Homo-oligomer: A and B are copies of this chain.
Amino acid sequence: MPATIRDVARASGVHISTVSRTFSAPHLVNPETRVRVLACAEDLGYRPNRAARALITGRTHNIGLIVADIANPFFPPLIKAAEGQARQRDYHVFVADTNEDVAAEEDLVHALAKQVDGVLLCSPRMSNSLIEQVSREVPVVVINRQVGGLPCVMMDVGQGARAAIEHLLGLGHRRIALLGGPRGSWTAREMRRAATAAARGGGAELTVLGPNQPTETGGGALAEQVRRGGVTAVLAYNDLMAIGLIEGLDALGLRVPQDVSVVGVDDIALSRLTRPKLTTVATPTAAAGRTAVDMLLQLDSDAPRGARGRGAAAGDRRTTAQVMLQTVLVVRDSTGPVPEPGRDDTGA
């Protein structure tokens, strides 16, 4: 049923190669012929078969986007932005969810490799060496992690963590807890490094709790530890954990921000809707998605287009762009001045 290039050729009385050129190199075909072909194509509802085209050009005009958990509210804005940017450039995007599983992650990129011109890896959990290995099979741009010389786009959570700690210091807090993220997360390491340094610089004590599941439940589970630790402020790995923690503290009878200040990271839509509204480090997720797509497509057009097969597939011109996006601290209602000493479990 679907019309092929041959049907159009027959209908318009030209050779298939002319039809092909009408679409892929219009300047090579006589204007009159072109309009005739276009008219027939329109009539028959012809659309070039991308798979067949990919077979010979080596360009699929698809990209893959691999994330740890689609339902984690951090990702949808990124996915949306990436998809929009890609489509504007006439690319379609495969979205895949690894469920935070390393093996699934690897399988996925292999499975997708032949079908895409490149893959976006969001907050991958794979080891660096594994990532480098798969990057030899298919062009890769990494989001939210720095791995070797691979192109990547990061959000400066280090700076964000520092700003958050300084904000807390400014409110008088000196005993602060950091709710760590998942094992193997680059972001988690960066935050820890920066937060520790900032706390030390401000003469405060920072205790690290974790690693943890980066979810609401993961945050809630730490409420008891936070209470026992006697800290007056908490920086959480992300907003979800911060919100979970606030819930948990509430259940223990601790109020935010009167008893404990809490700051999150990401500024997901949700953080504006909870009560208290969450103080958080806003990460430019949409910009990251767009930038990553641009980088990937750039990489792609730099690649040796004609040299298919054995050609120097990669390595020649390693575009080693690594961009760092700025974060900004958004102060809302979940942080406040350190409580007066003399409370049950806060005193020295």
Does A112 sit at the interface, judged by CB under 8 A?
yes
Q: How many A residues, CB 8 Å from partner?
A: 51
- Chain B nearest CB, measured from A273 CB (Å): 6
Per the bound structure, the CA–CA distance linking A209 and B10 in Å amounts to 56
Residue among A50, A70, A77, A79 with the highest chain B CB neighbour number at 10 A: A70
Does A102 sit at the interface, judged by CB under 8 A?
no
Interface 9-mer from A51-59, A160-168, A221-229, A334-342: A51-59
Q: Which residues of B contact A52 (CB under 8 A)?
A: 51, 55
Does A318 sit at the interface, judged by CB under 8 A?
no
Does A270 sit at the interface, judged by CB under 8 A?
yes
In contact, A1 and B313 (Cβ under 8 angstroms)? yes
Given contacts A51-B51, A60-B51, A273-B216, contact A92 B96 (CB under 8 A): yes
Does A110 sit at the interface, judged by CB under 8 A?
yes
Say which residue of B1, B71, B77 sits within 8 Å of A80 (CB atoms): B71
Per the bound structure, the CA–CA distance linking A47 and B2 in Å amounts to 28
- Chain B nearest CB, measured from A77 CB (Å): 5
Does A210 sit at the interface, judged by CB under 8 A?
no
In contact, A92 and B115 (Cβ under 8 angstroms)? yes
In contact, B47 and A113 (Cβ under 8 angstroms)? yes
Does A73 sit at the interface, judged by CB under 8 A?
yes
Give the number of times this chain occurs in the complex, counting copies.
Answer: 2
Does A310 sit at the interface, judged by CB under 8 A?
yes
Does A284 sit at the interface, judged by CB under 8 A?
no
In contact, A70 and B51 (Cβ under 8 angstroms)? no
Does A294 sit at the interface, judged by CB under 8 A?
no
In contact, A80 and B97 (Cβ under 8 angstroms)? yes
Per the bound structure, the CA–CA distance linking A247 and B110 in Å amounts to 46
In contact, A83 and B96 (Cβ under 8 angstroms)? yes
Per the bound structure, the CA–CA distance linking A48 and B110 in Å amounts to 11
Mark contacts of A22-54 with chain B using CB atoms, 8 A cut-off: 1 yes-contact digit, 0 otherwise.
Answer: 000000000000000000000001011111101
Say which residue of B2, B94, B273, B311 sits within 8 Å of A93 (CB atoms): B94
Does A345 sit at the interface, judged by CB under 8 A?
no
Given contacts A83-B70, A94-B94, contact A243 B50 (CB under 8 A): no
Within 8 A of B (CB), among A55-95: 55, 60, 62, 69-71, 73, 75-77, 79-80, 83-84, 87, 92-95
Say which residue of B79, B94, B274, B313 sits within 8 Å of A70 (CB atoms): B79
In contact, A243 and B273 (Cβ under 8 angstroms)? yes
Per the bound structure, the CA–CA distance linking A87 and B70 in Å amounts to 14
- Chain B nearest CB, measured from A13 CB (Å): 21
Does A309 sit at the interface, judged by CB under 8 A?
yes
Q: Can you list 28 contacts pairing A with B, beta carbon distance less than 8 Å?
A: A1-B311, A2-B137, A49-B55, A49-B114, A50-B114, A50-B115, A51-B51, A51-B54, A51-B55, A51-B114, A52-B55, A62-B94, A70-B76, A71-B76, A71-B80, A73-B76, A75-B76, A80-B97, A83-B95, A83-B97, A84-B99, A92-B94, A92-B111, A92-B112, A216-B269, A216-B273, A273-B274, A274-B274
Closest 3 CB pairs of A and B: A70-B80, A95-B95, A51-B51
